[in-house]
């Protein structure tokens, strides 16, 4: 089945759109960050799927195994995961500060407290 | 030492940042950050002259050669961007003390300089690296530190501006990541030089097209090209004054570099069918950016916000140059990149001085500033004249080359639009001149209260550089010409 052989990529597309939609549509700053995380996670899955070689073993040197999966995308995405965590941390720290300053994490309520910036 | 030169401008601030975090006293942190930035600047000057004389410099990180390891590859384009970023960065850090001491609480001053150094390291890294994924990592280093810097702004709206920037910036960076993933899927390599060799051979692949689309949208978010500019006015207006100078003069320039690098060195779009359609898009968006940005700037009541919109407009000019798609157009775009860093550096730094003395950047409170701070105001006006593009200033050179490039393509309408856009610039600069030299209302006693010496020196220096490069434009013109030739000549070296 063609659809199922690309299962990973379908998941990626669905997650990506879900995350993106949450970022755009939600007014809650924490939910926006969660959406951003889902969006980033979909890209992680995309990279990990790229690394798969059909029939390939895990990329650990061993006798009798000739075909390995490509480990490079995994290593790359390890870096991207760290970046994602850092982004989330900075974002959440900002939300904490915003909450302290405005006493709300709803975008509409915050915007109502100041003239537009 | 000399063989390590390509990596030094990036390594110095990258190692300097954590070292700076160990310093307890804010003054020490400031001195240390300045020292690191000046050293990095000296390295880029040396790197620039070496590249100018000997051609492309390469450096294999960890001794792993190019397609396998990360390679730093410095050609004229990289060298020019490195020079601009590190030069302006060092100048701004040197001038920053008074403004930072006023706007940022005592406990955060040291960390402010740590974030500045990290941001500098990220920007220089983007400009130096020859590896697509490494570029993404440096992009995130610079972006994350920028979010922190913007959030240090004096009032609480800075937090929201930083948050919005974080959301938009992360979407942009993730788009770039997706694009790079597609490229890796297609070619199995991440080195830009290697990608540049393999991609054209693939023909008109749909994956390559998707990759390019993702990367362009991602980079344009960072570049704040209209209509993806929404984060920029908020972030520029609410950030601490010094951060605004830093962002306006460096980070959009680096984003433009990334766009140029991917378009011409990685995808080689000059050979592609797509190029025609894309040029139209870039020119259209650039023209809209020029007019929308300038018009908003004209009616803005706050000078800082007005200048932020003016940045959107100037980015439009650079993208128009890119969209013209010839060697001349690209050259004009790069010259404007160089000159705009000088202009906006001087403008925003003078504005930082006004804010330091007046406490606000509203036009109403800037009345009579020309008498209170004659030198800083004169520098502001000089840089403003350069922004308009009056002959004798650096701005004239970039507008002149842009007009020539449009004329060479016989795009007369575009030429007219460029000139009209420049006239709009004159309107908002004139508005400042009128306010600055107007009689202040109420009490007539005006005390001269110039900016602190260190700040004033840098402001005047940047303004004079605008004048200098208006008369002796060999450095930007020849470098940009060489870089544009190398990019479009199909000659990858």
**Do B99 and B240 meet the contact criterion of CB atoms below 8 Å apart?**
yes
- Give the A:B interface size as CB pairs under 8 Å: 75
Partner residue opposite A101 with nearest CB, options B159, B171, B181: B159
| A46/B181 Cβ within 8 A | yes
Q: What is the mean pLDDT of residues B167-188?
A: 91
Give the distance from residue A25's alpha carbon to the nearest chain B alpha carbon, in angstroms: 13
Q: Which among A20, A36, A73 has CB closest to B184?
A: A73
Flag if B137 and A83 touch (Cβ within 8 Å): yes
Cα–Cα distance measured from residue B264 to residue B272, given in angstroms and rounded to the nearest whole number = 11
What is the per-residue DSSP string for chain A? -HHHHTHHHHHHHHHHHHHHHHHHH--BHHHHHHHHHHHHHHHHHHHHHHT--TTPBPS---TT---B---HHHHHHHHHHHHHHHHHHHHHHHHHHHHHHHS--BHHHHHHHS---
pLDDT of residue B445: 56
Cα separation of B404 and A101, whole Å?
Answer: 52
What's the confidence (pLDDT) of residue B271? 63
User: pLDDT tens digit string along A84-101?
Assistant: 999 999 999 999 999 998
pLDDT above 60: residue B491: no
Residue of chain A whose alpha carbon sits nearest to that of B151: A94
Structure confidence at residue B441 (pLDDT): 60
Mean pLDDT comparison of B93-102, B139-148, B231-240, B462-471, highest-scoring range: B139-148
Burial letters for A17-55: b for 16+ Cβ neighbours within 10 Å, e otherwise? Answer: eebbebbeebebbeebbebbbbbbbbbbbbbbbbbeeee
CA dihedral B470→B472→B478→B481, nearest 10 degrees, is: 20
Is the model's pLDDT at B443 over the cut of 60? no
Which CATH number, 3.30.460.80, 1.10.287.3510, 3.20.20.140, 1.10.275.10, labels domain A3-52+69-114? Answer: 1.10.287.3510
Domain map (residue ranges) of chain A? 3-52+69-114
Q: Tell whether B362 is within 8 A of chain A (Cβ).
A: no
Cβ of B151 within 8 Å of Cβ of A40? The answer is no
Of B133, B170, B178, the CB nearest to A46: B178
Record the pTM: 0.91
Give the nearest partner residue to B174 out of A43, A98, A101, using CB atoms: A43
The pLDDT value given to residue B185? 87
pLDDT, tens digit, for every residue of B232-269? 888 888 889 899 999 988 888 999 999 988 888 888 77
For an interface test with A, the pick among B122, B149, B160, B238 (most A C-beta atoms closer than 10 Å) comes out as B160
Own/partner pairs for A90-97, CB < 8 Å, 24+ apart? Answer: A90/B144, A90/B147, A90/B148, A90/B166, A91/A33, A91/A36, A91/B163, A91/B166, A91/B167, A91/B170, A92/A30, A92/A33, A94/B147, A94/B151, A94/B159, A94/B162, A94/B163, A94/B166, A95/A29, A95/A30, A95/A33, A95/B163, A97/B151, A97/B159
Token reading at B68: 């396998």
**pLDDT, average across residues B278-290:** 88
Inter-chain CB proximity A50 and B184 less than 8 Å = yes
Chain B residue with CA closest to A104: the answer is B160
Place of tokens 């000059």: B270
Residue B440: pLDDT above 70?
Answer: no
Residue B450's pLDDT band (cuts 50, 70, 90): confident
A23 touches chain B (CB under 8 A): yes
Q: What is the pLDDT of residues B326-382, one digit of tens each?
A: 888 888 899 999 999 999 999 999 999 888 888 888 888 888 787 888 888 888 899
* B385 touches B393 (CB < 8 A): yes
Respond yes or no on whether ipTM tops 0.85: yes
Could you tell me which residues come within 8 angstroms of residue A15 by beta carbon, excluding any fewer than 6 positions away?
A38, A39, A41, A42, A45
Kindly report which listed range (A65-79, B154-168, B361-375, B429-443) carries the lowest average pLDDT score. B429-443
Question: What average pLDDT does the segment B404-417 reach?
Answer: 85
Q: Distance, in angstroms, between B368 CA and closest chain A CA?
A: 26
Query: pLDDT value at position B492?
Result: 39
Question: A79 at the B interface (CB within 8 A)?
Answer: yes
pLDDT > 70: percent of chain B: 96
In Å, what is the CA distance from B468 to each residue of A103, B183, B392?
Answer: 51, 43, 8
The token pair that represents B267 in the structure block: 């995808």
CB contact under 8 A, A94 and B170: no
Tell me the percentage of chain B whose pLDDT exceeds 90.
22
């Amino acid at each position: 089945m063609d659809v199922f052989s690309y299962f990973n990529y379908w998941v990626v597309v669905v997650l990506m759109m879900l995350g993106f939609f949450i970022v755009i549509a939600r007014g809650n700053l924490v939910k926006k960050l969660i959406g951003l995380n889902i969006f980033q996670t979909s890209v992680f899955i995309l990279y990990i799927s790229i690394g798969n070689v059909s029939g390939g073993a895990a990329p650990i040197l061993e006798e009798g195994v000739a075909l390995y999966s490509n480990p490079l995308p995994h290593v790359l995405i390890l870096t991207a995961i760290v970046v994602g965590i850092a982004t989330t941390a900075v974002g959440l720290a900002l939300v904490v500060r915003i909450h302290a300053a405005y006493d709300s994490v709803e975008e509409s309520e915050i915007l109502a407290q100041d003239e537009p910036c | 030492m000399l063989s390590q030169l390509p990596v030094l401008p990036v390594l110095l601030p990258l190692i300097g940042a954590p070292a700076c975090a160990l310093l307890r006293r804010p003054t020490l942190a400031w001195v240390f950050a300045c020292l690191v930035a000046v050293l990095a600047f000296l390295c880029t000057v040396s790197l620039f002259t070496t590249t100018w004389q000997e051609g492309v410099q390469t450096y294999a990180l960890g001794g792993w050669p190019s397609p396998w390891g990360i390679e730093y590859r410095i050609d004229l384009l990289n060298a020019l961007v490195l020079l601009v970023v590190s030069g302006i960065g060092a100048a701004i850090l040197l001038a920053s003390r008074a403004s930072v001491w006023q706007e940022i609480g005592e406990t955060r001053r040291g960390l402010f300089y740590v974030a500045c150094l990290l941001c500098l390291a990220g920007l220089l890294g983007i400009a130096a690296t020859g590896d697509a994924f490494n570029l993404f990592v440096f992009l995130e280093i610079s972006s994350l530190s920028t979010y922190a810097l913007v959030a240090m702004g004096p009032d609480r709206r800075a937090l929201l501006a930083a948050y919005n920037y974080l959301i938009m910036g992360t979407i942009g960076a993730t788009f770039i990541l997706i694009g790079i993933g597609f490229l890796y899927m297609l070619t199995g390599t991440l080195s830009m030089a290697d990608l540049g060799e393999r991609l054209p051979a693939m023909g008109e692949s749909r994956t390559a097209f998707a990759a390019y689309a993702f990367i362009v949208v991602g980079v344009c978010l960072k570049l704040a090209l209209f209509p993806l500019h929404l984060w920029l006015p908020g972030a520029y207006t609410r950030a601490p004054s010094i951060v605004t100078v830093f962002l306006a003069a460096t980070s959009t320039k680096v984003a433009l570099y990334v766009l140029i690098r991917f378009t011409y060195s990685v995808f080689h779009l000059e050979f592609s069918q797509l190029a025609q359609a894309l040029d139209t898009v870039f020119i259209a968006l650039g023209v809209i950016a020029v007019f929308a940005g300038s018009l908003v700037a004209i009616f803005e009541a706050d000078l800082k916000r007005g200048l932020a919109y003016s940045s959107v407009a100037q980015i439009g000019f650079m993208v128009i140059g890119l969209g013209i798609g010839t060697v001349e157009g690209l050259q004009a775009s790069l010259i404007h990149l160089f000159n705009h860093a000088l202009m906006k550096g001087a403008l925003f730094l003078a504005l930082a001085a006004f804010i330091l003395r007046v406490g606000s950047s509203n036009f109403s409170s800037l009345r009579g500033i020309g008498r209170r701070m004659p030198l800083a105001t004169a520098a502001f006006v000089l840089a403003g004249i350069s922004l308009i593009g009056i002959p004798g200033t650096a701005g004239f050179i970039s507008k002149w080359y842009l007009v020539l490039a449009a004329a060479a393509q016989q795009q007369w309408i575009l030429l007219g639009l460029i000139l009209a856009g420049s006239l709009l610039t004159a309107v908002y600069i004139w508005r400042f001149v009128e306010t600055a030299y107007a009689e202040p209302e109420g009490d007539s006693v005006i005390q001269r209260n110039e900016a602190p010496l260190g700040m004033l020196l840098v402001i005047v220096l940047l303004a004079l550089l605008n004048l200098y490069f208006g008369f002796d434009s060999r450095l930007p013109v020849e470098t940009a010409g060489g870089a544009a030739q190398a990019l479009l000549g199909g000659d990858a070296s």
